[in-house]
Amino acid sequence: MENLAMKKFLEIVKDRANEFFNGKVSTPAPLEDERIIEIIQQALRKKQGVHVIFSNKSFTGDIVKYDQERRQLIVKNFKKSMSTIIRISEIQKISLVPNNIRIAQQKGEV
């Protein structure tokens, strides 16, 4: 697992160096849809919060609804004061949020 992570890291460094020296800029590759959906389903099963990076924005909260037909996600922040609709195609990164972060954000500490 560590070798794979190191290999990916070195590939990214190599690509960025080539972009720098050649003057070409590439867009970051989004996560594969399958992996994104897998993380969404895992969060729903475990009733765990998610942190989503999409369209140069980020949002942390609970998944309210995952609409498979429209391929979008409705996420509400932990204080339940704000929500957002995120299209799966716009997601660049998604990860599960540990429960201690959820508790801290609900109390307003973070």
pLDDT at 52: 96
Query: What span, in angstroms and rounded, lies between the C-alpha atoms of 10 and 82?
Result: 39
Q: How confident is the model at residue 27 (pLDDT cuts 50, 70, 90)?
A: low
Contact between 36 and 91 under an 8 Å Cβ cutoff? The reply is yes
Query: What span, in angstroms and rounded, lies between the C-alpha atoms of 64 and 76?
Result: 6
Interval 55-78: pLDDT, tens: 889 999 999 999 999 999 999 998
Query: What span, in angstroms and rounded, lies between the C-alpha atoms of 14 and 5?
Result: 14
Q: How confident is the model at residue 25 (pLDDT cuts 50, 70, 90)?
A: low
Cα three-residue angle 46-47-48, rounded to 5 degrees: 85
pLDDT for residue 90 is more than 80: yes
pTM: 0.66
Q: Which residues contact 16 (CB under 8 A, 6 or more apart)?
A: none
Sign of CA dihedral 80, 43, 91, 101: positive
